[in-house]
Chains A and B, each alone.
Chain A
Amino acid sequence: MKRLGSLAGAWITLLGLGLPATAQLPPDDGQWLRPAKDYASTRFSGLDQVHERNASQLKLAFSFSTGVVRGHEAAPIVAGGTMYIVGPYPNTLFALDLTKPGAPLKWTFDPKPDPSAKGVACCDLVNRGAAYADGRVFFNTLDNQTLAVDAATGKELWRAKLGEIKLGESMTMAPLVVKDKVLVGNSGGEFGVRGWLTALDAATGRIVWRAFSTGPDKDALIGPNFKPFYAQDRGADLGVSSWPPDAWKIGGGNAWGWISYDPALDLIYYGTGNPGPWNPEQRPGDNKWTSGVFARKPDTGEAIWYYQYSPHDLHDYDGVNEHVLIDANLAGQPRKLLVHPDRNGHVYLIDRTTGQVLSANAFVPVTTSSGVDLQTGRLRYNPDKEPRAGETIRNICPASPGGKDWQPSAWSPRTGLLYIPHQNLCQDAETSQVSYIAGTPFVGADIKMNPGPGGSRGLFTAWDPLTGKKAWSIAEHFPVWSGALATAGDVVFYGTMDGWFKAVSAKTGTLLWQYKTASGIIGQPIAYRGPDGNEYIAVLSGIGGWAGAVVAGNLDTRDGTAAGGFANAMKDLKAATTLGGMLYVFALPPAGVR
């Protein structure tokens, strides 16, 4: 890391936008077409009407109830004068007319998913958002359908059934549209579901390609152009040979997180989920290609490189967290980089052309490993924390949801900081043998989570990925399970599980403004320019997700192992928040009125 230390002041700009290296930011079109805002997954808005000095004046402009009271993880989508919101199951899609006072409902689309899908949703009934492209809105339903809806009329254009709830499969992620393709992946890492990423023709919904995360090279779309950086990822059919016989067929690796795209390199980047079952003794081997990152060509799906964050994952450390694409000078050389805060507790800085890990520094207390060997690329596991069936292993840090789970961070090219919403949890765990019974959970671990060192279960951390160091951090009572938003006004937004929506200074973390919403916030805040020319900040409030399952599912926290062990760390959440499902949109006066 030292060799990078002197470069802390290096200026940075976004790639993904195909711009020359310049400190000048591109003008923001004011829209928010996909949950991550841009292909580089920065969640950075170029709008600066709201800034550090006036953010305290933010007022509520309008609100809207989704009518569903489960975890709302989605980002609102804004295209033209319309806002699109997809709710948790039953995944109703709403269009709000932003050109009219109060943003009345324009249309509603009900995809009518199968209610039995609720039985295979590991972590509440969440959906992480829709995506807009070329007059169409795309989204997934919990029962494994991808739909395209006409953005103007709300009429269904096509739907594609891509998976089977009877095998424990579900879909919760937000699609990404790249060129003429809609990219989607499945969930089900707790049901022994074999993971995949699929490209659909945006016009018809026809499957163009499907890349599995386990199994033979032909299924993983690994061919002659596959050039992983590290030796352990080279060889024929490693997706078979790194597993016990046939275990790859039920081995997880689900692509339920985020996808980024670099148009210049023409590569997509996405992480793969945990291997199944959680009990690692039932699957000796590296379990490729789970808990890692793939770079693929979007047209064909063919793999270009892969890197495994957590080989033979021991603690449910999915690799699906966002990959933020940035360009920066390292040692005087302009580099195309990828920043990834992983569940295993490290922020990775990776050369996105080759897959070489340049640094991996811990952003939370970590007992399960002692960093990454930059020669071999391998995570150095701590054998003391390795699960052994029938034995309780204590003080596993980070806990299974990781140093950070799905909740996406934001990157500001103005400050050069990554704003990471995350948790600070450790756990005790005991693994046991589990039978694979299709359609039932395939886990084999009993877990009880606890607050990590320091006692605050949540943190909102500003991280300098080039120096690999924390700039500042805000301690929160509960895990910070919302996404983050950074703006050109140097204001950063996030929400808390007890319902506060907060604006803080991007430079110092100083609290500038906060608003108490009706329920806990686990949604992704966005910024857009309304038809009236004003900047608006929007977020969904509605407690749930894995961290909020004790409220969303009304679980009994006397059993600390409830909600996959999260209940033990969230015994006071029911007293802090109640069910909800509401959109809140804020602006400066006179657009913001209340």
Chain B
Amino acid sequence: MRAAALLSVLAVATALAACEREARRFETTVPSPGASAPESPRVGALQPATPQQGGVKLSTVSQGPYEGNAFAVNQGKRLFRWYNCNGCHAMGGGSIGPALMDDQWKYGSSSSAIFASIMQGRPEGMPSFGGHITDDQAWQIVAYVRSMSGQLRKDVEPSRGDTLSGGEPEVARKPEKPRPADPPPQPPVGSR
């Protein structure tokens, strides 16, 4: 009886995960910080296209909304090329910018840390994309970036690309143990 109950619970959980894996959303599940939320300064001196004034709003959650959503991860993979992220980070091995498929994370490997790196930029060349792309697109890119070093579930990570293959696809990479380990989650910025 117990085994059957456990099985059915598992089945429901799997079904739910599968639903999430396939889900298409028109709006991000992460609530927008809102106009009153505090702004954080841009850290990178560079911005893509026409520079904007002012700071950026950082994540109100530590976990990104798309970690289990294969569709969003693949959208992130597409946007990673559209916004020329690949021009600096290649297919994860790096070029002008650092590799993203290895275990080394200068500015943290958590989704909120990667979100901050994209939006604020970083002092040694990473442009500040805050205000230039939507939060939703940034979260899709964050999920894809985490897939590059195998941080997501295998059924979510991309299994093939549309371009010349740089090496093993994301799903075939062994999960890296990020170094240094991320600090314990901070209280969300501007949480309500």
Contacts and interface: CB of A to CB of B under 8 A. Distances in A.
Interface string B73-97: 0000000011110111011111111
Nearest to B45: A116
Contacts of B99: 554-556, 559, 562
Q: How large is the interface on B (under 10, 10 to 19, 20 to 34, 35 or more residues)?
A: 35 or more
Interface of B: 44-51, 81-84, 86-88, 90-99, 101-102, 104, 123-127, 163-164, 166-168, 173
B95 A553 contact: yes
B131 to A, nearest CB: 14
Contact of B91 (A118, A438, A559): A559
A562 B94 contact: yes
A145 B70 CA distance: 46
A559 B167 contact: yes
B93 A557 contact: yes
B49 A439 contact: yes
A390 to B, nearest CB: 8
Contacts of B93: 555-563, 567
A72 B45 CA distance: 26
A437 B96 contact: no
B96 A559 contact: no
Given A190-B87, A437-B48, A448 B96 contact: no
A326 interface: no
Contacts of B92: 556, 559, 562
B46 A559 contact: no
Contacts of B163: 430, 432, 446
A119 B126 contact: yes
A115 interface: yes
A118 B94 contact: no
Interface in A270-301: none
29 contacts: A114-B45, A116-B44, A116-B125, A119-B46, A119-B97, A430-B163, A435-B83, A435-B84, A438-B48, A441-B84, A443-B87, A448-B164, A448-B166, A553-B98, A554-B94, A555-B90, A555-B95, A556-B94, A556-B99, A558-B101, A558-B168, A559-B101, A559-B166, A560-B166, A560-B167, A561-B164, A563-B90, A563-B95, A567-B90
A561 B166 contact: yes
B96 A120 contact: yes
A429 interface: yes
A395 to B, nearest CB: 14
A473 interface: no
Given A166-B45, A447-B164, 5 more contacts: A441-B88, A446-B86, A558-B168, A559-B91, A567-B90
Contacts of A165: 45-46
Interface in A397-429: 428-429
A556 B101 contact: yes
Contacts of B97: 119
Contacts of A442: 84, 87
Nearest to B87: A441
Contact of A166 (B51, B81, B91, B166): B51
B172 to A, nearest CB: 10
B150 to A, nearest CB: 12
A119 B94 CA distance: 12
A440 B166 contact: no
A117 interface: yes
A348 to B, nearest CB: 30
A435 B164 contact: no
Interface of A: 114-122, 165-166, 190, 392, 428-430, 432, 434-435, 437-443, 446-448, 549, 553-564, 567
B81 A439 contact: no
Contacts of A558: 93, 101, 167-168, 173
A437 B101 CA distance: 24
Contacts of B81: 432
Nearest to A440: B84
Contacts of B95: 122, 549, 553, 555, 562-564
Contacts of A117: 125
Given A119-B96, A392-B164, A556-B101, A435 B46 contact: no
Contacts of B173: 558
Contacts of B82: 435
Nearest to B51: A166
Contacts of B98: 553-555
A567 B95 CA distance: 9
Contacts of A554: 94, 98-99, 104
B153 to A, nearest CB: 21
A440 B94 CA distance: 14
B171 to A, nearest CB: 14
A555 B102 CA distance: 9
A115 B83 contact: no
A354 B48 CA distance: 43
A561 B49 CA distance: 25
A555 B94 CA distance: 5
Contacts of A559: 90-94, 99, 101, 166-167
Contacts of A560: 93, 166-167
A392 B164 CA distance: 7
Closest 9 CB pairs of A and B: A119-B125, A441-B87, A559-B93, A562-B93, A556-B99, A561-B166, A440-B84, A116-B45, A430-B164
Given A435-B84, A441-B84, A553 B94 contact: yes
Most chain B Cβ neighbours within 10 Å, of A429, A554, A556, A558? A556
Given A438-B48, A556-B93, A446 B124 contact: no
A311 to B, nearest CB: 25
Nearest to B44: A116
B48 A119 contact: no
Tell me which of B45, B46, B163 has the highest count of chain A C-beta atoms within 10 A of its own C-beta.
B46
A116 B46 contact: yes
Contacts of B45: 114, 116, 165-166
Contacts of B84: 434-435, 437, 440-442
A506 B5 CA distance: 83
Contacts of B91: 446, 559, 561-562
B78 to A, nearest CB: 11
Contacts of B124: 115-116, 118-119
A119 B166 contact: no
